[in-house]
Chain A
Amino acid sequence: MAILGFLTHTLADHAHAAEKTLAAMPELTTYGVHKGCYVVTVAEAPAEQLEALVDRVKAVEGVLVVYVTSFTREDEELDAPTAPSSAFLSPSKRI
């Protein structure tokens, strides 16, 4: 299991709704909305699922961009699959 910490940048008027949607995803833990538009989010999932997970986060209504802040694979075998991919920093909607 890899652990990825990130900020989910949302439209300000969608922030709380987006947080609820993210919190409902079993692989995610959210830590509140900060500065009106950032949901502090942590993903914990097998590596092969994380890529799709990040895509699901980006697809949530009101989500603009996902910014990774930390990644750890301390518990994983070093040659094992590790973490997510895809265009995570690409804005999913027009600002």
Chain B
Amino acid sequence: MTFSRREFLKGTAAGIALSVLAGPAMAAQQNNSEAEKWVKGVCRYCGTGCGILVGVKGGKAVAVKGDPNNHNQGLLCLKGAMLIPVIYATDRLLKPMIRKGGKADKLTEVSWDEALDFAAARFKKVLAENGPGAIAYYGSGQALTEESYVANKIWKGGLKSNNVDGNPRLCMASAVAGYTTTFGKDEPLGTYGDIDAASCFFIIGSNTSEAHPVLFQRIAKRKESSSKVKVIVVDPRRTNTSRIADVHVTFKPGTDLALLNGMAHVIIKEELDNARFYGKYCNFMKGNDAVTFDEYKKFLEDYTPEKVEAITGVPAATTVKIAKMFAESPGTISLWCMGINQRFKGVWANNLLHNLHLLTGQIGRPGATPLSLTGQPNACGGVRDVGALAHLLPGGRVVENDAHRKEMEELWQLPPGTIAPKMGRHTIALYEGMISRDVKAVFIHCTNPAHTLPNLNKLTKGLETAFVAITECFKTAETLKYADVVFPDAFWCEKEGVYGCTERRYSLIEQAIKPSGEARPAVDILMEFGKRVGVDPKLIPYKNSADIWDEWRQISAKSVYNFSGITRARLKKESGIKWPCPTEQHPGTNLRYVRDEDPMVPKDHPDKMFFYGKPDGKAVIFLRPYEPPFEPADAEYPFVLTTGRVIDHWHTATMTGTVPELKKAYPGAYVEVNPEDAKKLHIANGDMVVLETRRDKMTFPARVTDTCMPGLVFTPFFDQKLLVNKLFHDAADPISKEPEYKICATKVYKA
């Protein structure tokens, strides 16, 4: 019997697929393709954090497959399955470059020494002349944990500048503030495992099927397992996610705060609330003031289903129905993403979601939890936990807390008073600071703000004059147009480090291959840069990223983020571990704040739940009134514009755009127009349509589809040729400082 090599490869592919069904034990035995070795990693794209195995042959990455032992149980989405071509894309940056003659000059390839000295000299000059407030670091939820940790330490501990922020400010800051204000500490209570136990899914502001496809598969699988499992999708767009919904609720964009309060009203009126739970574990508050349950109940009288219908357009009966489904289910899980976070009142929207769980007691047991979905692969582990934002310090500490600064100065062995007592500039303030010339030099790492900032025509102005150093992997990044120095970063499995995904799971990306060209791991770049700017080498004494991890791991033991048991050796052996994890024997934590589950809750604590981030151990149910979006549609600009992802592209498409077939699927942006609106405006499928806002106007090809409800238009944001964020305002949530990307007013007309 002959067995060709192609047949062998096909048999291997079938074996892997089969093994996924059989479960991890069998899947682990399927490492039998022609790859010489399989190296463990994590997908480079979304916050789902799927485990990946990279097949290596002859020093080259040749294949990928899902890690059967990680939470994705061997499954990948197509973007993740096609990461290999991205590594070898012709668009990779392979050599350092500088503009010797200023912004008007061309980027010229130079040696590493010249590039590092060029950048360091400029930063030193700015520091000497203008002080630490004039320099900044702008990082990323895609950077490795060790990179963000060391950058944070260099800036806040070494250069005495708290101007450390990053793109998680644009996507997750409202979720952070939501968790912190309600529960006392950031990061979700539950995990993906709750999906398998939930009986009701409340999905709001998330197109899970396109933005988090592997999680959507898990939801669909749970839904199919029993007719008793129900799915509620709340979204003004009829996305693929809504196609598995038992109830799909569309509403006037920006009015969901009223809907969430309306659900709370129904829950109390119908006596579906859990008074025993909130009586024991919750306080009621209006801002910083304590209020009573009766005051809360009275507040909700403004949100009867009928009043909510008048605000949102949601039929009163629908509000009643979904409130009952939420409360009466054996276990309800809420899932949300940018539709809730990227809002002018994003923190309040997060609070109102948490309210529903606290009112009903749908929390703290398998399948009952709020669980925010994350947009980037390491926004949680790498930025939020590490504290690489302007107001944060590592492990949930905050800059403007004397005791927290003192703790970090001791842990980092800094002289007292080293860390500046005032928070640094959040993202919008940082780019406004460049416009006003108060910020004169910025180090941008692993992100593309010239594509992703809101109100781009305004906020990129400062990049035209500030000194801009960038670490980047791809030549196509829009921000390179403003770069004075470009450091080529090693990409993904060309370096080693940790990613921490949505469910508090830390997984290791092991180095599978050597960096392309002259690219170097960013931790090396950051440390070398820091030393040349004048940071004491003793502050950054690490030989490699494992050393950095070890320090951060040990430091975490002094906080409720304690993951000191997650050693590098464990990460190499296991496919991700969920913190808190205080000892090397601890298996990781599924249910946070629950006694006998969460090791941060004392074993002898008298109550089952303990919200230890709050002074009195109680979570908060907030009175948060409905407020309209910053820029609602009006007579002059009668449509609402919203943006989002498509399944085949990720963020600004610097990676997915290098894969021909992904690019072919979505070669450019478009605008979705409802058929009713299209008819009124005489727009046909494929016509060129102008979107005109108070900032700018742009032309898109039309897709006439009932995906959007009447009055709403949608366009994806990945397209570098159509930078849709030029159309958006830069108004941000007053608490989280996260911009409202999801809603602005626009005119729509045929070009």
Residue of B nearest to A39 (CB): B17
Contact pick for A42, options B10, B21, B76, CB 8 Å = B10
Q: Is the CB of A73 closer than 8 A to any CB of chain B?
A: yes
Per-position binary interface string of chain A over residues 54-95, scored 1 when its CB falls under 8 Å from any chain B CB and 0 otherwise: 000000000011011111111000110111111111110111
Chain B nearest CB: distance from A77 CB in Å? 10
Q: Is the CB–CB distance between B664 and A4 below 8 Å?
A: no
Q: Per DSSP, are chain B's interface residues mostly helix, strand or loop, or mixed? A: helix
CA distance A29 to B12 in the complex (A): 12
Q: Is the CB–CB distance between A87 and B661 below 8 Å?
A: no
A-B pairs with CB below 8 Å: how many?
Answer: 168
Q: Is the CB of B77 closer than 8 A to any CB of chain A?
A: yes
Given known A3-B10, A34-B18, A91-B243, contact A68–B75 (CB-CB < 8 A) = yes
Q: Is the CB–CB distance between B34 and A74 below 8 Å?
A: yes
Contact pick for B81, options A40, A47, A70, A87, CB 8 Å = A70
Instruction: Write out the residue numbers on chain A whose beta carbons fall within 8 Å of the beta carbon of B85.
Output: 73, 78, 82
Per-position binary interface string of chain B over residues 521-552, scored 1 when its CB falls under 8 Å from any chain A CB and 0 otherwise: 00000000000000000000000000000000
CA distance A68 to B83 in the complex (A): 13
Contact pick for B217, options A67, A70, A81, CB 8 Å = A67
Instruction: Write out the residue numbers on chain B whose beta carbons fall within 8 Å of the beta carbon of A87.
Output: 210, 240, 646-648, 665
Contact pick for A81, options B14, B223, B661, CB 8 Å = B661
CA distance A83 to B661 in the complex (A): 6
Q: Is the CB–CB distance between B21 and A79 below 8 Å?
A: no
Q: Is the CB of A1 closer than 8 A to any CB of chain B?
A: yes
CA distance A5 to B17 in the complex (A): 6
Q: Is the CB of B9 closer than 8 A to any CB of chain A?
A: yes
Q: Is the CB–CB distance between B81 and A51 below 8 Å?
A: no
State which size class the interface on B falls in: 35 or more
CA distance A71 to B65 in the complex (A): 7
Q: Is the CB–CB distance between B81 and A89 below 8 Å?
A: no
Contact pick for A34, options B12, B21, B214, CB 8 Å = B21
Q: Is the CB–CB distance between B217 and A40 below 8 Å?
A: no
CA distance A29 to B4 in the complex (A): 15
State which size class the interface on A falls in: 35 or more
Q: Is the CB–CB distance between A72 and B9 below 8 Å?
A: yes
CA distance A73 to B87 in the complex (A): 13
Contact pick for B78, options A40, A41, A85, CB 8 Å = A85
Given known A78-B85, A85-B664, A87-B647, contact A70–B77 (CB-CB < 8 A) = no
Chain A nearest CB: distance from B211 CB in Å? 11
Instruction: Write out the residue numbers on chain A whose beta carbons fall within 8 Å of the beta carbon of B74.
Output: 69
Q: Is the CB–CB distance between B21 and A35 below 8 Å?
A: yes
Q: Is the CB–CB distance between A70 and B648 below 8 Å?
A: no
CA distance A9 to B90 in the complex (A): 36
Q: Is the CB–CB distance between B661 and A90 below 8 Å?
A: no
Residue of A nearest to B656 (CB): A85
Q: Is the CB–CB distance between A91 and B240 below 8 Å?
A: yes
Instruction: Write out the residue numbers on chain A whose beta carbons fall within 8 Å of the beta carbon of B244.
Output: 91, 94-95
CA distance A3 to B85 in the complex (A): 14
Residue of B nearest to A87 (CB): B647
CA distance A65 to B14 in the complex (A): 17
Chain A nearest CB: distance from B525 CB in Å? 26
CA distance A80 to B277 in the complex (A): 60
Q: Is the CB–CB distance between A95 and B88 below 8 Å?
A: no
Q: Is the CB–CB distance between B6 and A44 below 8 Å?
A: yes
CA distance A5 to B240 in the complex (A): 23
Q: Is the CB of A18 closer than 8 A to any CB of chain B?
A: no
Residue of A nearest to B27 (CB): A69
Given known A70-B16, A72-B33, contact A89–B21 (CB-CB < 8 A) = no
CA distance A17 to B97 in the complex (A): 58
Q: Is the CB–CB distance between A72 and B243 below 8 Å?
A: no
Q: Is the CB of A50 closer than 8 A to any CB of chain B?
A: yes
Instruction: Write out the residue numbers on chain B whose beta carbons fall within 8 Å of the beta carbon of A64.
Output: 220, 224
Q: Is the CB–CB distance between B62 and A74 below 8 Å?
A: yes
Q: Is the CB–CB distance between B63 and A90 below 8 Å?
A: no
Q: Is the CB–CB distance between A69 and B65 below 8 Å?
A: yes
Instruction: Write out the residue numbers on chain A whose beta carbons fall within 8 Å of the beta carbon of B64.
Output: 70-71
Instruction: Write out the residue numbers on chain A whose beta carbons fall within 8 Å of the beta carbon of B57.
Output: 74
Q: Is the CB of A7 closer than 8 A to any CB of chain B?
A: yes
Q: Is the CB of B293 closer than 8 A to any CB of chain A?
A: no
Q: Is the CB of B376 closer than 8 A to any CB of chain A?
A: no
State the 4 A-B residue pairs at the shortest beta-carbon distance, nearest first: A5-B13, A85-B665, A89-B213, A70-B65
26 pairs of residues in contact across A and B, judged by CB atoms under 8 Å: A4-B13, A5-B17, A31-B14, A34-B18, A41-B14, A44-B10, A70-B81, A71-B63, A71-B81, A72-B33, A78-B85, A82-B84, A83-B81, A83-B661, A85-B659, A85-B662, A85-B665, A86-B647, A88-B647, A89-B78, A89-B214, A90-B210, A91-B243, A93-B243, A94-B244, A95-B244
Q: Using a CB–CB distance below 8 Å, which chain B residues touch chain A?
A: 6, 9-10, 12-14, 16-18, 20-21, 33-35, 55, 57, 62-66, 74-78, 81-82, 84-85, 88, 90, 209-210, 213-214, 216-217, 220, 223-224, 240, 243-244, 646-648, 659-662, 664-665
- Contacts A5-B16, A74-B63 supplied; 15 other A-B pairs, CB < 8 Å: A5-B13, A7-B20, A9-B217, A31-B18, A38-B21, A40-B18, A41-B17, A42-B14, A70-B64, A72-B33, A72-B62, A73-B85, A85-B659, A91-B243, A94-B243
